[in-house]
Every structure is written in C-alpha cells, then in structure tokens.
Structure 1
C-alpha cells in the first residue's frame, strides 16, 4: 500500500504509448508546478504583509485575507493536479499490492480510470458553480468571485488531462481497455439502477457511504476520489440535489482560511530542515534523551503537545514536527510505520490543547466559556500523552542501545545553547498567537520569517537552489491533503441532508441508563463521526443538539466537550477512513499500510485514556 506510486510502478505505467505523450506531460508539468510554487510564495508574502501592516504599522490591510483566500483555492487545486501527476494522492493499496504484478498493473489503471470518471462527472457542475459566482463581488477587492471559483473547474480539468495521459501511456493496451471497460460498466450499472435507489431511503447511506466509499478505498482508488465518487453517487442517484451543490461543499471544505496554515506549516517544516535548525534541535534532544530507550518517541509526544493548536490545523502541527524528528529517528532504527503511527496518535492526543480551534468552535456554537475550555483542555491531553508513553515504553523496553554512549553534561549544555534558537521557535509562534500579534493562520509566516533569519545569520545554512523544489513539494502535499478534506466535507453535507444528524441526536437522547450510557454512546458516536467529518463541521452540526441533552443529564459542559473532542480525534486519526491518519502518512511520506498495525496499540491506549477522562470529571474541570 502506498501514499504514492513507487518509482517502479510509475515507470511501468508510463512505459507504453507514443513518445510524444511523454513530451506533452513534460511540457504541461512545469506549466502547473511553477504557478503552484509561486502561489505558495505569494500567500506567505500576503499574510506576512498583513501581520506587519496591522501590528507594526497599525494600518491593517483589509484585503489581505481575501486575496490570500483566492490564492489559496488555486494553490489547493493546482497542488492536487501536481499530486495526481506524480501519483501522490493518498490511497489504500493493501489488497492491490498483494496481487500478482499483471493484475496489480490492471488495478492501478482501474484506479486512474475511476479518478478520471469522477473528474469527468464533476467538471461541468464545477463550471456551473464557478459561473454562478460571476455575479458575486468580493467585499474588499471588489472583483468578481469567479476569479476565485474558477480554480475548481480549471483544476479538475487539468487533473483530467493528466489522468488521460497516464492511461494513454499504459504499458498494455489490453489492460487499458479492460480498466476503462470495468469502470464504465460499474458507472453504467449504477446509473441504470437509479430508479431503485430513490425508494431505499436511509439504506442508501449504507450503500454509498459504506459500500461505495469503502469498496473504492480498498480497491486502491485515492481516498479523495473514493469519497467524491460515493458522495456524487448518493446525491445524483438518490436525491434531487443539483450537482453544483457538491462542488460548493468541496469549495467550502477547502476554503476555510485556517487551512491555509497547512501549506505554510508544510513549507516551514521543510525550511527548518534546510536551514539546519532541525539538525541542531535533534542533535541536542538526542544528546539529552538518546541514551533512553524510545527517547525520541517521548520527544515526539512532548513536541506535539507543545505546538498543538498553534496553527489551528492538526495537519499543519504534524507538518511542523515530522520533518524535524523523523530523519534522526529513522537513522536510529525506527520503522517508518511506527513513526507515522505515533505521529497520528499524537495528533489525536492533543486535540484539546489550547488554542484549539475545535474548542473555540464549541464555545461559539454552545455558549460554553472558551476560557474554561482552554483551562480544561490541558490535563486530558496530558493523560492521553501518558497513555501513549506507556505504549512507547513497552515497545522500546528491549531496544538495543549498546552502541550508544551517554553524552557528557558539558556537551549537552553546549548543544543546548546552539539549539536554543531552534527550540525557541514553538514558543515564539505560541506567543505571537497569545499576544495577538498574528492569527492562527498568519502565525506560520512569522515562523517562516524567523527560520529564514535564523538560517541566514545564526546557522549560516541556506540553499536558495532548494527553494523552488520545496515550494512545489509543499503545493503537491498540501493539495493531496486539502482535496481529501474537500470531498470529505461534501460527504459530511450529504449525511446531514439525509437527516442522519437529527436522527442520531434523537436516538441518543432516548437511551436508557442515564448519564453513563449517554457518555458511552457519545464516545462511540463521535469516534465514527470523526472518521468522516472534520472536527469543526461535526461540532457545528451536533453540538447544539447534544450539549443540551448532556446538560439535562447533569454532565458538565466542559467535561462533555473534552470527551467529545477526544473521541472525534480518535476517529479522525484512525484508519481506514480517518482523514487525519492519511494526512499523517502524507506528511511523513510513509505508505499507509505500514502504519496500520503499529497504530492499533496507540489507538487502544488513546481509547482507554478517553474512557478515563469520561469517567473522572475532575480531569476536565478540576482547575476551573
């Protein structure tokens, strides 16, 4: 299974076809990657200029966020195009990889044809959606919103072009025709069965959101396209919803300005590595904890606790940590699957660490004090962190450290002094948010500026030639993550329109057993919801419905909020459907199947920790 096609698979898929197809691909590639890299750079400049103008010059740029939002959607779509061209969209290939080579090649072509089918079905609705935005004028820049919305049909069309090129360059014409025929037959069968779905009611939820989505995921189709196919099929065949609405929900999912922190923190992580800050930090931490079994795993748990919530995006938090720690951990013998499993687990563990955007959202939609939520969120995350450390201890208790000598304290102190500028970065970022210097979205630009200055003048390591490839890599990785979030948001909207959310609230409110049963069912329900919904949409949809029920049963609002957030984190980072897990795999550049077995132990530990938090209210409200 793989986050991307291996080099051998790419060569095999592109081995056939006329040579001019390869030349076309080589020409079109830079026409997408160069603008995408410039968009990353432009967003950094625009947001940083907004910070300087508002905080230093006391003259805010009213248009900076609006322009950044426009550029961001183009960045997300062009990044998705690059990811598709490179074969870097997240995908589950456990079953595909176990097939014989000829059949595996056929499966790869089927996956590409399925992506093309979704793109072909949604490209016209995307154009209709963009055309409808023509009449809307943006408030600050006073330009047509078409300039922004056009990114959707353009990006979808370009992805279609590269999907066609990949199919035409297949090594076997016979397999190409078989793959296209298989996908066409499945699509035709669903279309002909359309009248049957209209009378199945909520059974369609199982057919499309479990059967179709799950089948596509396990067939090796990229996660984003699997979600998109399931949602398109549900809306088109069992409802009368206009298809531009689906595109609108994808736009909504990818357009939260807070998500702009994802590419910026991805770039920050690459920058930290390039400037030598990561090496200085890891050298110090290795000297401090290197002689301890599993020492750097403890560092990863603590580092995620430290930076979590700063950016407002868990994917961005992971992107800031992984590039700094993973290379050294791998060099010490850690398996990539174990690393990405722990990274995903720490993402779930730290969901309640302030300033968590999910906690802010809970406070805004339920009326619970945000200050109380921030105070109550620290200890539950610490409890879950201790549970993870127990697993780390058990897994690494027999680690062979005979070849590693304990570093003298004098050298530890000297390395600490060298690493101080790098270690100070999380505190600088958090202080900027707390003091109001920058928003959660803008704060990553302060980290980037800090890292550039540290690289140039402190560590004196800055390779300007690497900036271009780093910007392109940032766009590709961000696009693969954001496209998943977009299609997952559309899926969440489909679930809401089906009446599923209100039915769930009514069912849970009528459970026997009082508060303990309600809390237990809340944990299970939000684990499931977290696997298909981002935290904010889930809270907006279900918070106003379930919090009053919890209140009536005598459950403290802050206590219930902690349990809900931690449960959603479990679902968000648990395979096979958790979007956060695939984001962690993409950031760590590790095939998803390598992390599934190691993550089970961590998820069990997190679940036990969540139950402890649910059973002992003092953990959440003891310091209020």
Structure 2
C-alpha cells in the first residue's frame, strides 16, 4: 500500500503522472530488490512494443488530417442541412457533427480542436449565447471516444487484454443514446430561450450537401464495416483511416497541401509522445501494483463493506468519476484497469460492459473541474470564463448520468451489438 501513497504524494506535489509512476517503480525496485534495475526500462519498452499500439498514432494522425483537410467543414455543413431546422438549430447540428466526426477520430480533444471553432463561431453568428454554444460543444465532444473507433478503448483493450473490436461495438448504442439525450436537452433549452433555427432546406440543397460530404461520411462506414466484417483489425483500421483522410483531403476536397504534411506529422508526434510515456510507465506501474497485490487489497476492502454487486459497481463508478475529474484519461486507464477489472470480473460484470462503463465515466471527467480539459478548451475558443462554461454544461450532466445508470443496470445496451456480430467469440 505504501507504493500507492508514494505515487499520490508525487502527484500532490506536482510531478507529472507518467514520471510519478516511473519514480514510484524505481523506489519499489530499490527498496524491495525484487528485480534488477535493468527490469525497469525493459518493462517500459514492453508496454509500447505492441502491434495493437500502432492504432494510437494513426488515430491521432487522423484527427490532425481531418482538421487540416476541410473534412470537418463538410461534416458540419451536412449536419446543418439535415437537422438545422429543428428547434435548437445549430445545437442539434453540433451534436450530429460530433457523432459523425467520432466515426473517424475517436478522440474528444480532436473533436474540440476540429469542430469546436467552427461550431461555436457559427452558433454565435446566428444569435446563440456564447455560453450555450460552448456548453453543447464541450458536451458533444465526449461522444468521440464512445462511438467507434476510440483511442481510449484501444488503450483499455490493451491494458485489460480484451477484444478491442468488441469494445468498439459495445460503444455504438451508447453513443447514439448519448447523442439523442443531448439533442433532447438542446430542444428543451432552445424552446425555453427561443433560440433561432433556419427553415428546412429544399430537398435538392440537402442532397447537394450530402453529396459534398459523402467522401467524409463514407469513412466511418469503411472503418466500422471493415472491422465488423473482419477485413481488417482495429489497428489496420486506424492506418486505413489516416490514408483515407489524406486522400480525400488532397484529391477530393483539395484543401490539404502536401507541403503541410510535415507540420501535421509533427503535431501528431508531439501529442503521441505523452501518450507513449503514459503507456510505458503504466505497464511498469501495473507490474508494481501486481507485486504489491493492490487489486486484491482493493477487492477485499470493498467486499468488507458490501457483497451487493450493484453497490460494488456503484462504488467503482464513483471512483472512476472522481479520478476522471483530475487525472488524464490515458493515465487513469493504466492505473485503474488492473485494480478495478478483477473486481468487476468477480461480481459477474462482462469485460466489454465494464470497459464501456470505464471509458464513459472518465469522459464525464473531461467536462468536470478541476481538470475538465474539453471544457477548458471550448471556453477559450468561445471567449468566456471557465466558470461560465461549467454552468453552461451542467444541464447535459442529467442525460450523461442517465446513460451511465442505464449501461450499469442493463448489460444488453453494451453487449447486444457484439453478441449479434461476434457471437460467443468476444
């Protein structure tokens, strides 16, 4: 247990999470002598030397390519033509755009970076309050890691040793329910505040926007269809997505110039560096937790309190929600998975269901202070204070917590699609 205290002390004094895990492992090895010091770099290298790991840099590259190749603009225009006439107008466009965008990038921050500026500017120009625009943009961005593909699900699959394809499929229904409840919230707020909407576009205008956006809309179909049909693995899907984004950016929309490729690659590499450090240190820290039997201690502590599986699941939800508010998502995955997954298995929770619950809970943390990275970014884009942004996003917590409760209580919400497409193989 002392290793956990050592780790938390380092976090408390401001040491970055990745370095805190490495230093804690060094101290553990030095004090216990369980292995030689050469084991530390070896374990870290093994944490990132995985074929499945290749999906992460490619999905990061996809987000950068989409943001620099005109794909996001076409997605937004198509969503506007489709649902912009409903009460709430661009609020619904915001949600639908994020749902489509998530079918390519799978990252909340990429959604904010790519669509956020477009959405918030458009909403402000049409007379929406800046606070409302920021609130729905932040809330809808967390759909990205739930609807496949999803970078956090790839990391959870690696950490837990379970089917990444199964996790992807488990997120589909959840992502759709999230989107619908957000749109319901937008409708109720918009009707109360009398927000603007435009007239329904003529059929030929809507068809034209569909044709223009079709290359971008086909990307999720190709990726998800390819994974579900077995034509390629989630890792291969990430490389296909990157190559496809590059092709349509250069040859279809012609907004992307080859001379910009080095800049895009550099931006992806800079973002990847921290993720790789977290994965390497996470592998090492998971070994330390295993040596100290932290998972067993946590399980015995929880089972001392209660044997009710629903109460235990509630406690794990609270832990995940709390950790998501102040710790980076990838770090939380590698720290908490080896501790909580065995407990979930012991009370009969399917790993796919628990994986979706795990990621969903951490995503709510992206909207919740003190960390709230998505809320922070959108408040900067919208030019409002962080406190105002937090007030604006509060109505969406109701729908998010309803979804969280549903996926805890009804396993079939997350397991129906994997069972339908994979049978008993997941």
TM-score scaled to structure 2, two decimals? Answer: 0.72
Distance 1:215 1:405, change over 3 A: farther
How many pairs are equivalent? Answer: 397
Paired position in structure 2 for 1:469: 263
Task: Compare CA radii of gyration and give the structure with the larger one.
Answer: 1
How many angstroms apart in 2 are the aligned matches of 1:354 and 1:484? 14
- Tell me by how many angstroms 1:606 deviates: 2.7
Give me the CA root mean square deviation. Answer: 4.6
Secondary structure at 1:612 match in 2 = helix
Pair 1:326-2:116 in alignment:
yes
Q: Of the candidates 224, 227, 247, which is equivalent to residue 433 of structure 1?
A: 227
Matches within 5 A, 1:3-82: none
- Structure 1 residues 231 and 537: CA distance shift in structure 2, 3 A: closer
Helix, strand or coil: the match of 1:213? Answer: helix
5 Å matches for 1:32-431? Answer: 202=1, 205-206=4-5, 208-216=6-14, 225-229=16-20, 231-232=22-23, 235-236=26-27, 239-240=31-32, 245-292=39-86, 293=88, 294-303=91-100, 307=103, 314-315=106-107, 319=110, 321-322=111-112, 324-332=114-122, 333=124, 338=135, 341-342=138-139, 345-347=142-144, 349-350=146-147, 357=154, 378-393=172-187, 402=196, 404=198, 406-431=200-225
Contact 2:85 2:198 in 1 (8 A): yes
CA distance in 2, matches of 1:402, 1:577: 28
CA shift for structure 1 position 229: 3.6
Seen in structure 2, the aligned counterparts of structure 1 residues 498 and 300 have a Cα distance that, compared at 3 Å, is: farther
What's the counterpart of residue 98 of structure 1?
none
The alpha-carbon deviation at position 539 of structure 1 amounts to: 4.4
Distance 1:287 1:545, change over 3 A: closer
Quickly say closer, same or farther: Cα 1:259–1:395, change in 2 above 3 A. farther
**TM superposition shift of 1:572:** 5.8
- State the SS of the aligned residue for 1:438: coil
Aligned runs of 1:568-583 on 2, under 5 Å? 568-571=359-362, 574=365, 582=373
Higher relative contact order (CA 8 A, sep 6+): 2
Contact residue 384 and residue 610 of structure 1 kept, 8 A: no
Verify the 8 A CA contact 1:228 1:487 in the aligned structure 2. Answer: yes
* Offset, 1:417: 1.4
Q: Does the 8 A contact of 1:572 with 1:581 survive in 2? A: no
d(CA) in 2 for partners of 1:512, 1:479: 41
Whether 1:509 aligns to 2:280 is no
Distance change (3 Å), C-alpha of 1:564 and 1:230: closer
Q: Flag the 1:259–1:574 CA change in 2: closer, same or farther, 3 A.
A: farther
Match 2:314 to one of 520, 531, 536:
520
Name the CA distance, whole Å, in 2 between partners of 1:473 and 1:362. Answer: 26
Structure 1 SS opposite 2:235:
coil
Q: Give me the whole-angstrom Cα distance separating, in 2, the residues matched to 1:589 and 1:439.
A: 37
CA distance in 2, matches of 1:486, 1:581: 24
Determine the C-alpha separation between the residues in 1 that align with 2:374 and 2:38.
27
Query: Is contact 1:344-1:581 (8 Å) kept?
Result: no
Deviations 1:50-100 (A, max 9, x none): xxxxxxxxxxxxxxxxxxxxxxxxxxxxxxxxxxxxxxxxxxxxxxxxxxx
Superposed CA offset, 1:407-443 (max 9, x none): 3332111121122112111112222323333332222
**What 5-or-longer segments of structure 2 have no aligned partner?**
125-129, 420-426
SS at 2:347 equivalent: helix
| Preserved contact between residue 326 and residue 339 of structure 1 (Cα < 8 Å) | no
CA distance in 2, matches of 1:229, 1:374: 31
Contact persistence 2:356–2:414 (CA under 8 A): no
Whether the aligned pair in 1 keeps the contact of 2:352 and 2:414 (CA below 8 Å) is: no
1:153 is matched with which residue? none
Shift of 1:341: 3.2
Deviation string 1:328-371 (CA, Å, 9 cap, x unpaired) is: 20222366864673255324654899995478679966xxx999
Distance 1:619 1:297 in 2: 24
Task: Measure how far apart 1:536 and its partner are.
Answer: 6.8
SS of match in other structure, 2:231:
coil
1:613 pairs with 2:403: no
Q: Give the structure 2 partner of residue 565 of structure 1.
A: 356
Q: Which runs of 5+ in 1 are unaligned?
A: 1-201, 552-556
Cα deviation for residue 518 of structure 1 reads: 2.8
Question: CA–CA distance in 2 between the matches of 1:564 and 1:272?
Answer: 27
Q: 1:418 to 1:347 in 2, by over 3 A?
A: closer
Q: SS where residue 63 of structure 2 aligns?
A: helix
